[in-house]
Amino acid sequence: MSSPRLATISTGAVLTAFLVGVVLLLRLLQPKPPSLGEDFPRSQGPAEAPVQIIEYSDFECPACSAALPVLQQLRDRYPDKVRLVYQHFPLDGHRRSPLAHHAAECAARQKKFWPFHDRLYRDQPAWSKAEGSVIEIFLRFALEQGLNVDEFARCLSDTSVERTILEEKTAGSGLGVNSTPSFFVNGKFVIGAFRAQEEAERILSK
């Protein structure tokens, strides 16, 4: 083999290895999905469950509402093997969403996140298309879910709740989330509840 050709081939190999290495290194430096303990108020299932699902969701998104029965089925089927963690990801175009997330976070502070979460998704058309203020609707939901309504109402004006939601959304964006519902199933990113269910069942079938 002539020396220029050998030089070309070896340079190509080094260049390709370098370019692949750059991507792998940058991927290693990318942020990782959060690891949240058992006391995290927006989690269901044992902390040591073999399948950990982190859901990035928006309360006003119809696809997120459609994900609810899929996730519930998964939770019912594998109560000890699946852990579901909810992360706030209110989408920009949804005008009612920020308040809905705020209200849900207030419910989480009273350890009643999941019933409130289910209610928000089940009655999504009612509050998302309601005329005027939706605070009254959320206060009614809080009352029906057995929350301390005074505390809930105080929490609705607490700006630190908004910061928590925004920080969670920013962290999600940093992980590559840009649509809802998006999931990390044992760290693997998937979009859509059916894909999350498939991935969870694939892991459990091993």
Partner 1 sequence: MKIRRGDAFWLVARILVGFIFAYAGLAKLLEPAANFEAVLLKYGIFAPSWIPGLARIVPWIEWLVGCFLMAGYLPRWAAASASLVALAFLVTLGSSELLLKSGGTDCGCFGQSGWLHLSLRQIFAVDLVNFVLALRLSFSTSFPFSLHGFLVKGNGGRDDTNEK
The contact set with partner 1 (CB under 8 A) reads 4-5, 7-8, 11-12, 15-16, 19, 23, 26-27, 30, 173-176, 178-179, 182, 189-191, 195
Ordered alpha helix ranges (H), the chain: 3-29, 62-77, 97-109, 113-122, 124-128, 135-144, 149-156, 159-174, 193-205
Closer to partner 1 by Cβ: residue 89 or 152 = 89
Min CB(4)–partner 1 separation in Å: 5
Question: Quick one: residue 184, left, alpha or beta (phi over 0 = left, psi -120 to 50 = alpha)?
Answer: beta
Name which of 19 and 149 has its Cβ closer to partner 1. 19
Shortest Å, Cβ 60 to partner 1: 19
Say if residues 155 and 109 touch (Cβ distance below 8 Å). Answer: yes
Nearest residue (CB) to partner 1, 16 versus 73: 16
Whole-angstrom Cα distance, residue 151 to residue 191? 36
Closer residue to partner 1 (CB): 75 or 195: 195
Minimal distance, residue 77 CB to partner 1, in Å: 24
Give SS3 for 64: helix
Residues in the chain: 206
- Shortest approach of partner 1 to residue 74 CB, angstroms? 18
What is the smallest separation between the CB atom of 182 and partner 1, expressed in angstroms? 8
Measured distance CA(180)–CA(193) in Å, rounded: 10
Q: How far is 71 from 65, CA to CA, in rounded Å? A: 10
Q: Which is nearer to partner 1, 5 or 206 (CB)?
A: 5
